[in-house]
Structure 1
């Protein structure tokens, strides 16, 4: 399985106003529940006004389109990283999954996944 590195620094934000989101950003993930409005975006496009914000994330995606019948892909990746004491922030889209780790753990995460047979495309 191929994992594609995204050459971008990310921020994870809790926001009040969806109108502050820059949808021109190539990677922009918005999640809304009855409790919050969350945004994951390139740090350079993060709104200046947030309720909470955490910078310093890096990410990669699983290459290709994943069929909904596939089971355990995200679980296997997260288990490998958990064994290395690396926390993740996972995002799923219709096509695939994205994993973010803190910048200081990113290279360690990629090396751990490569050691377990994943191909990392930079």
Structure 2
């Protein structure tokens, strides 16, 4: 399977109070639970009213659509990175998985994954 970097710098944010989800006209991932509303988006699109946020993330995805019958893809990726003490923030959508890595670890993460047989789309 191929991995693909999404260009730009990303932030992870949250609200614990009511807030409307908005269209940011770019990549964004909103998740609402009974406890919080979370957002992953390009740092330059981060709304001003976030309660908490963390900047400095890079993002890649498993390229293409993944069948629901596939097992262990995210586990394989996170396991390779965990061995090198690289933490991740993972997002799964209907089609694929997205993995955020702190910018300081992005190059090492790619090297580690490539050494384990993963390829990155150029």
Query: What's the TM-score once normalised by structure 1's chain length?
Result: 0.94
Number of the residue aligned with 2:67: 67
Structure 2 residue runs of 5 or longer lacking an equivalent are none
Report how many residues are paired.
Answer: 120
Number of the residue aligned with 2:20: 18
3-state DSSP of counterpart to 2:90: strand
List, as ranges, runs of 4+ consecutive aligned residues in structure 1 with deviation greater than 6 Å.
Answer: none
CA distance in 1, matches of 2:71, 2:121: 23
Does the CA-based 8 Å contact 2:43-2:55 persist in structure 1?
yes
Number of the residue aligned with 1:84: 84
TM-aligned CA deviation for residue 23 of structure 1: 2.8
Aligned-CA RMSD value: 1.1
Does the CA-based 8 Å contact 1:12-1:41 persist in structure 2?
yes
